[in-house]
Every structure is written in C-alpha cells, then in structure tokens.
A and B are shown apart, each in its own frame.
Chain A
Amino acid sequence: MSLPMRLSDALWRRPRVLLLLLLVPPLLWLGIVYLGSLFALLAQSFFSIDEFSGLINYEFTLRTYGELFRAANLDIILRTLVIAAAVTIAAAVIAFPIAFYAARYARGRWKALFYLGIMLPLWSSYLVKVYAWKLILAREGILNWLLETLHLDWLLAAYLSLPVLGGNSLSVSWTGTFLVFLYVWLPFMILPIQAALERIPPSMLEAAGDLGADRGQTLRYVILPLALPGIVAGSIFTFSLTLGDYIIPQIIGTSARMIGQAVYQFQGTAGNIPLAAAFAVVPIVIMGIYLTVARRLGAFDAL
C-alpha cells in the first residue's frame, strides 16, 4: 500500500489526530506569538518603575494600577470614553439611513453600487483617509474656502470660540478629532446594521402595516428593535477602534491625550512599560464588559 494511502487510513482510524494536525499550526502561532506576547505585556502591568533610576522593578505590585486613578490619568480614560461614545452614537445615526436604504430599497445594480460604496471606503488606506481630513480641515483648505465663499465664516469662528469643542482651528480641536474618527469608522457601523436589516423578512413589515402601523410606528416598534443587534455589533467596532487609536488624535486634535496615545508614549518616550501595560488593560476591560453586554443583546448573530 502506498504511503498516502497508509497515512489516509491512519487518519480515518484516528479522527482526533486529523483535527489535531489541523489545529496545531494555527494554535501554535496564535498561542505563542500572540497570546504569549499579550500575557507578557499584562504580566508587566503588575511590575512598577523605580522613579529615580527609571528601571523596572520586577516585584508583584498593584501600585501601577493605582497610578491609573491619578487625576491626570483618569482624565485620559474619561476623555477617551466620552469621545468613543460620541463617535459611536453619531455613527449609528448616520449609518442607519444608509444601511436601511441599502437593505430594503436598493435592488440589482444599485445594490452592488451601495455595497461597493461602503466597502471601498472601509478598505481604503486608513492613513490616506486621515490625510484627506488634514487637507479638508487645513486653514487654507476646502472647508474654510467653502464657508468663506458662502460668507458663513463667521459661523465657524463662533463655533470655534466655544469652550471644549472649539479651538484655534478645526484641525486642532476635539470637533476635528471627532469628525475624523466618525469618518474613518463609519463603514464599520453600516455593514452590521445592513446585515441585521436584511434578515428582517419583508412579510414582517407587511404584517405591521396590515395591523395598522404607519411608517413611523413600523420603524419604531418593528424595525428598530430588530436592527438593534446590528447597531450593537457596529458599536463594538466603533467603540473599540476609538479606544485604542493613537494616530488620529495625534494628527488632528488638541494636545490632550487619549488612551492609545498614553500607551504609546509611556512605552516609547517615557519608557514606563508597566504603566503602558496597565493602560493597555483599560480598553481590554472596557471591551470585555461591552462584549458581555452585547452578547446578552444578541449582537454576535449580526456580525
């Protein structure tokens, strides 16, 4: 009997071995390269840094986690959460009509167009998208030009004078950061909502109409509850991506930091790996809570 035949026989006799052979390479890679690194990082969050020598003190301590609760660091965490929440809500509001139209009304050619119209921005280079907004928000850029041409520049000036939201120009304001986040993550919100909406059988909407619901009532009592898992699924992306990003706020925004930037700077310029690790745990914990709640709401069926 030939060797392949003999190997094949052996695999049939021991189906578990086949399964093991399939699983071992990916699990080795992800287990060692990825999980190994992740645990190595998390382990370091239980060390501390010697404030005088700047060296890492390899003794178990919760002191580093305690530092997270300093006012400055707490500020960073809260700020990031507020931005992430704002981006998520705005993305849901803008995404819903697009997803709704694409799922329920677009047919044939239009359907394909909508699909690609969402996929192409989703997959376009992240940096290019950020760069595009740098062009748009620049002082000499298209937005200011447009407002000047329409003689609405006083409106922008008034807006920029607002505390917190405003600033010297849009590209160094929280509004700018928010806009870019919203733009970059929006497709991640549209797709799961569209998937959820497409699963609603049309007969269900007809039944709602048949029972006397008008458009608004159908939307409110039938479509929205059924789309909720999709919205929650989308919010997982927008929320998680905003929590961990450090490039967008660095390029467009104020000098106040977000979690991602803090992690980046503590491990880089500051050389405080334990604190960076502890900061990295924050989004993991937040997303852990978020995912648990989302699972309860059935969001994973919409992924």
Chain B
Amino acid sequence: MASAISFEGVTRQFGTVRAVDSLDLEIAEGEFFALLGPSGSGKTTSLRLVAGFERPSAGRVRIFGQDAGATPPYRRPVNTVFQDYALFPHLNVRDNVAFGLRVAGKPRPERYRAAEAALEMVKLPGYADRKPSELSGGQRQRVALARALVNQPKVLLLDEPLGALDLKLREQMQEELKSLQRSLGITFVFVTHDQGEALSMADRVAVFNEGRIQQVGTPVEVYDSPATPFVADFVGSSNVLPSSIVARLTGHRHPASLRPERIRLAEAGLAATVTGASFLGAATRLFVEAEGARMSVLLPKGALVPDTGSEVRLDWDADALHVMTGAQDG
C-alpha cells in the first residue's frame, strides 16, 4: 500500500527540549493509525508536524510522497479535529462547517449543501442555525468532525478527539469514528493517551515515550509482544520481570512482560508473597512480591483471594511470558 504520511528522521526541538527525536514512521493510505503515549511524549507534536502548525528542526515529513516542508497548513490535503474543537464562536454551526469551502471561494448554495450533507454524516442534522456555545460537548465534537471532513481531506488528523467526553459518549463515538473511517476509506491519524481507545480503534499503533517511538504494530502485537518495558507497562500495565528471574526461567538475559490476567495461583511455580489486594468489580487485583519484584495478578470473579502476607505460587502458560529481546533492565 502507498504511504500517506511518512516521517524521515524528523526532530522538533523547543529550546533544548526535543519534543520529537529523530522520528521514522510510515502511515499507510486508508489506515486507522493511533499515536499513543503519555503527555509530553511527542505524539501531539508529531500530529502538528503533519498539519503544518510545527515545522521540523531536522528531517522531513512527506504527505503522499511529497515533501511538505514548504507547504503551509492551508495547502495540505489534511484536516484536523482539535482537542478543544476550536469551533469559531462567532459563526453558527452551518458557517463553521462551510468555512473551508468559503475560503476556497465556493458559492454559497454549494457550500451550504455540502455543510448540510456533512452534518447529516455526523448525525447532527437540524443544528445548522445554532451557535457553538449552545451545543453540548458531544455535539461540538460532531461539528468539529463535520467541519474537518467537508473539505474532503485525504488524511484526517484527530488530536485527543474524545478526551473531553464522558465515558458512555466516548464509547459510542469510538464506534462511530471507526465506521465513519471505514465508509470514507481515508486515512485517520489520531492522538490519544488512552491505551484502551488506541487498542480498540486503531489498525496500527505507535507507542511514544520521551519524543521517541518505542514500538509500532497492530494492537495485538503491541499488547502481546511489547518491545520495551515502557510499552509493556503503558499498554495494559503489564508485569515486567527483571532479567535475573527471566534468565532462571528461560535462559534469556532480558526482561520479560507477563500480563496479570495470564497468571494463575497454582500448587507449583514462582514463589511469591501477597502484599495486598483490591476489588475491581469484575475481578480482583492481587499484589505480590517475588524475588524482590513487585507484580500484580488478576484473579477472576469467584476465585479465592489469599490473605495479605500468605505465600502463594504463580504459574502461567509458556506463551504468556514475552521476553523483550531488544531491551535491558530499566
């Protein structure tokens, strides 16, 4: 597949801070791609480099193969849904959505027709005459989406698009965004700090930390085979076993990731001491310590919860332990 966006050794420096540090990344056409990471990891800066709000200090951003270095935001075939939606407060919903066509010099009837169609697409017909201040958070989000799509961009950039919504609405919007992307067939690049959101929506995920990409892969790859202790911990908070234990168990001198839900309490296995437990509703999280390493174990509902201070044995299937061969103890 052709590449929609590619970063070639891109660095963006603010003073002495490297917000994005020699980034190499290819995003394919038609992909739903997530940039995942904690705040300050460089994911939003990467998105802004694509939109043209930031310019690389070094390296090159290509959009559909073309170097975008000299192209200002208003001539890039990408549009953005902003975290705070950035709806124009002085314009009503219709004029907000039609803004892109207005500055492109399209006649009024045409742009209003397109605006109505875009509002239809985001399931917000009949709101065209309202001001943004009269809308709820979810509605504003849809207007922002319609406004970005009305220009028919080849790539849609979404900066934490669901961050300001409450849980229920967020889950609903995740579903809608997904199906919208499928029906439009264009590339979606979205920034999030929510690993659950990234895993459930994206075709592929890039995990960022401190300006660098830790791992790029499908949600399954990133979850089951984290490349670094950071990925293991940030995506689904895994246990990272130090290389000393891993060496004894497998012979590899590298740290390994072991998901809490893959561990069971058994008659034989790694000896551990229970240090605490917390009830989560659908399961119970057990905190244990084994050979100096703190770990957590997810016990299914109904399982017996051992007392704090008691000795237990931990066991798991052979494929549950993922040795991170490219990493050393952190």
Contacts and interface: CB of A to CB of B under 8 A. Distances in A.
B77 interface: no
A197 B49 CA distance: 43
Contacts of B70: 9, 13
Contacts of A13: 70, 72
A277 to B, nearest CB: 42
Interface string A1-45: 000000011001100000000000000000000000000000000
Interface string B64-86: 00000010111000000000000
A291 to B, nearest CB: 29
Contacts of B73: 12
B95 to A, nearest CB: 22
A222 B59 CA distance: 55
Contacts of B52: 12
Contacts of B72: 8-9, 12-13
Interface in B92-128: none
A9 B75 CA distance: 10
A13 B73 CA distance: 11
Interface string A134-174: 00000000000000000000000000000000000000000
Contacts of A9: 70, 72
Contacts of A8: 72, 74
A257 B74 CA distance: 64
- For chain A, which range describes its interface: under 10, 10 to 19, 20 to 34, or 35 or more residues? under 10
Nearest to A9: B72
Interface centre among A8, A9, A12, A13 (most CB of B within 10 A): A12
A142 to B, nearest CB: 51
* Contact size range, B: under 10
A57 B36 CA distance: 73
A193 B176 CA distance: 51
Nearest to A12: B72
A8 to B, nearest CB: 7
A9 B71 CA distance: 8
Nearest to A11: B72
Interface string A81-123: 0000000000000000000000000000000000000000000
Interface string B18-54: 0000000000000000000000000000000000100
B140 to A, nearest CB: 28
A91 B79 CA distance: 56
A12 B74 CA distance: 10
Contacts of B74: 8
A110 B73 CA distance: 49
Nearest to B74: A8
Nearest to A13: B70
Nearest to A1: B75
Nearest to A8: B72
A9 B76 CA distance: 12
Nearest to B75: A9
A12 B70 CA distance: 9
A8 B71 CA distance: 11
A199 B72 CA distance: 42
A149 B56 CA distance: 82
Interface in A233-257: none
Nearest to B72: A12
A2 to B, nearest CB: 11
A9 B70 CA distance: 8
A9 B74 CA distance: 9
A9 to B, nearest CB: 6
A139 to B, nearest CB: 59
A12 B73 CA distance: 9
Nearest to B73: A12
Interface in A246-281: none
A8 B72 CA distance: 9
A16 B185 CA distance: 39
Nearest to B70: A13
A13 B72 CA distance: 8
A28 B154 CA distance: 45
A117 to B, nearest CB: 30
Nearest to B69: A13
B42 to A, nearest CB: 21
9 contacts: A8-B72, A8-B74, A9-B70, A9-B72, A12-B52, A12-B72, A12-B73, A13-B70, A13-B72
Given A12-B72, A12-B73, 6 more contacts: A8-B72, A8-B74, A9-B70, A9-B72, A12-B52, A13-B70
Q: Sorted from nearest, which 6 A-B pairs have the closest CB atoms? A: A12-B72, A9-B72, A13-B70, A8-B72, A12-B73, A8-B74
